[in-house]
Amino acid sequence: MNLDDQLHSAAADVRSGLSSVSPPPFEPPAPAGSRLTLLALVALIVGGGWWLVRPSNDDAPMVDAVTDTIVETVPAPGPEPEPDPDADVPALLTPPDQRSVGITGFDDLPTSPMDQPQLDAYAIEPDTGVAIRRFISGTPGSVVQPVFSQTQTFNADGSLVLLYQTRGSAESTAGHIIVDAGTGEMVAAPDLSAASDIEDVSWDSTNPDRLYFTSGPDLVSYDVSTGDTDVAIRTGCEAIGFGEMSGTTTSGTSLMGLLCRPVSGPTSWAVANTETGSIQIGGSATVDAAPQPMISGTGYVVVDDTGVLVLDSDLSVVRTIAIEASSHTVAQDADGSDVLVATVYGGPSSEGIIVVADLTTGAIRVVVGPDTGAPYPPRGSQLSTAATERPDLIAVNTFSDQAGPLTNEIMLLELNGDESQLRRLAHHRSVENRDDGWSATSTVAISPDGSRMLFSSNWASDTIATYEIALP
Amino acid sequence: MIDALPRVDRPLHLETPLSTVRALLEPTLTPLIDPIDPITLFDGAATTFDEVYQREYQALLGLGFVLTGSRPIAEDLVQDTFTEAHKRWTKVAEYDNVGAWLRRVLVNKSTSRGRRLMAEAKMITAVRARRTAHVTIPEDSSEVWAAVRALPKRQAQTIALFYWEDRPIAEIAEILQCGDETVKTHLKRGRAALARVLPNENGPTA
């Protein structure tokens, strides 16, 4: 059979497979007003009850940052507070030494009402005591958020943040934007439309002004300070990309894993060295995913939906790990061992929101999952890239239209072997609706030093903004 | 324009029957009002949102399936695509080619890895609840589409639109918002790449 016949036959088979499918009833999205009305009613009912039992400001679940003591948030009955005489002063502006590190445990933590935090003041998350502020938001109905949890958001020194917006403004068009990590002010609106995927963008591991994306056969660099776009590495492949992996460099290295699709022959794994401008071509790629450097720089890991492959520095497979990783990220345990952290929904290993695979030994352990008393992972669980200077820290979010323990929360994973801990920082209050599509699932990012986290939320509206959690 | 307002030769009152008003005004108004263009799909049929939804659902589901390899993800894409259309239907309905617009939205949405991950997780959790559906196709056809998906994205989209949808080059160019020659290049390179990885009697066909 020739190629044309093969393709036509394959198309016919799909038509046959779908022939009995009839469209389900279309469910138009509820107008934002209706949703808000419903949410307002819910908030009124729940909030009324909460108001009666809420703690006073003095009783808020603040944590002593020096001792790092975690205080469980237990709403206690309290007297009606006196009206704030200094109404002009943001009462919830939180000095850094009063920030909470959240709570631990896997108990159900119902979501209390909370107004959308403002741009110029921290608000206290009533369920966890964590300080949150709105970092950036766009026009009503727009989306401004980290590109994807597994795409680097912060640059090498944490001074810039890469975001994606769906609507333009006076300063920029829809697409990627780079903003000041402190103020949220626009720094640049690079045209990265040539990137093979909006998520296939990666910051340089050392130069804070440089990011990379793949375009056809080239690894292209963009310089934030000059606005210049240049070919960083001309690979000689017909096309390069990341496949099913997000493009990431790794802290302390200038290595970036790629898939090289040659003019002829099978696709190969490859590694670009952005410091030397060279590319290393390895053996045939057995799965459609690029290798990602381990934190230690001693090897690579390839993840697809069938399992995890560990490669040595020559890009040869040295180990397979039977784990079906959904959202995942390379990280390093407190003892310096290279690990893959993943959310696992099924397969040969145990399930969990946080499952850790040791890339050196192949050992798998569940940190947060049914085996450790936690629930089955909510379907919208996402892990961020590890903090580049603290690769034991990972931001985590969960998302579902079903309420439950560890659901719809923003959390911080701190790897430390058997003492690893998941700190529950906030409910993201992002509500699934058809207007937002998957964007409403919330994306998370953590700064290089692990002192700040970003997460996106529609806050039960039709506008998705990005919020900041300041950690002690 | 005041001068363009219709003139009628007898006074109208609130009590005047609507049919009389229409009969009086119509000859004067007709030249002033743009004819209402029917929504034109590829097949040229005039239709409403519901009719577009019914007519296009299966084709879009198939396009989403061949581009992602997953029916749940394809369903998610189709739902989101029609939601986009529904939100701005007044505007979309004025487009000359609604079908092309729908396909452009779906194709662009299909490139998000995050969306794929989310939909896969949704699928797995649905499987646990035993309430999902799959598309069963022969293994060799499944391998063909897997090879298509492994192509660079624009090549894969071009191949899918050409072979799954049977779209001519010009329509593919409209959907992907590029030139005819670009489509031909994607098609040629995509076919050449497929010929290298898929066993076929003619070898490379580019």
| B202 contact A CB<8A | yes
From the list B57, B150, B163, which residue is nearest A8 (CB)?
B163
Sign of the C-alpha dihedral computed for residues B17, B18, B19 and B25 taken in this order: positive
Query: What does the pLDDT average to over A14-31?
Result: 80
Q: Which amino acid is at B20?
A: T
pLDDT tens digit sequence for A226-284: 999 999 999 988 888 887 665 555 655 788 899 898 877 788 999 999 889 999 999 88
Q: Please report the ipTM that was assigned to this predicted complex.
A: 0.72
Q: Identify from B49, B63, B79, B124 which residue to disrupt to test chain A contact, counting A C-beta atoms within 10 A and taking the largest count.
A: B124
Q: Which residues fall within 8 angstroms of residue A83, CB to CB, at 6 or more apart?
A: none
| CB atoms A14 and B112 under 8 Å | no
Q: What percent of chain B has pLDDT above 70?
A: 62
* DSSP 8-state code for residue A401: S
What part of B 72-111 touches A (C-beta under 8 Å)? Answer: 76, 79-80, 82-83, 86-87, 109, 111
Query: What does the pLDDT average to over B154-173?
Result: 90
pLDDT tens digit sequence for A282-316: 988 888 788 999 998 899 999 876 789 999 999 99
| CB atoms A21 and B58 under 8 Å | yes
What part of A 116-155 touches B (C-beta under 8 Å)? Answer: 148-150
d(CA B144, CA A449): 46
| Burial degree of A137 (CB within 10 A; 0-12, 13-18, 19+) | buried
Give the per-residue pLDDT at A433. 65
Spell out which residues of chain B touch residue A11, defining contact as CB-CB under 8 Å.
Answer: 66, 163-164, 166
Q: Which long-range CB contacts under 8 A does A284-289 form with residues at least 24 apart?
A: A285/A243, A285/A259, A286/A317, A287/A243, A287/A244, A288/A243, A288/A244, A288/A259, A288/B149, A288/B150, A289/A242, A289/A243, A289/A244, A289/A245, A289/A259
From the list A28, A266, A379, which residue is nearest B86 (CB)?
A28
pTM score: 0.66
| A2 contact B CB<8A | yes
What part of A 176-215 touches B (C-beta under 8 Å)? Answer: 196-199
Spell out which residues of chain B touch residue A18, defining contact as CB-CB under 8 Å.
Answer: 58, 61-62, 65, 135
Spell out which residues of chain B touch residue A376, defining contact as CB-CB under 8 Å.
Answer: 125, 128
Q: Greater confidence, A58 or A187?
A: A187
Spell out which residues of chain B touch residue A22, defining contact as CB-CB under 8 Å.
Answer: 57-58
| A167 contact B CB<8A | no
Q: Identify from B125, B134, B178, B186 which residue to disrupt to test chain A contact, counting A C-beta atoms within 10 A and taking the largest count.
A: B125
Query: What does the pLDDT average to over A109-134?
Result: 90
| B193 contact A CB<8A | yes
Q: CA A40, A43, A48, A50: dihedral to nearest 10 degrees?
A: -160
Q: Which residue of A has its CA nearest to B146?
A: A288
Q: How far is Cα of residue B90 from the mean position of the Cα atoms in its chain?
A: 16
Question: Which range is least confidently modeled, A72-76, A223-227, A418-422, B190-194?
Answer: A72-76
| B131 contact A CB<8A | no
Among candidate residues A238, A244, A176, A242, the one with its CA nearest the CA of residue A211: A176
Q: How far is B137 from chain A (nearest CA, A)?
A: 6
| Burial degree of A86 (CB within 10 A; 0-12, 13-18, 19+) | exposed
Q: Is the pLDDT of residue A132 over 80?
A: yes
Give the per-residue pLDDT at A342. 94
Spell out which residues of chain B touch residue A261, defining contact as CB-CB under 8 Å.
Answer: 152, 193
Give the per-residue pLDDT at A50. 38
Q: Which residue of A has its CA nearest to B160?
A: A11
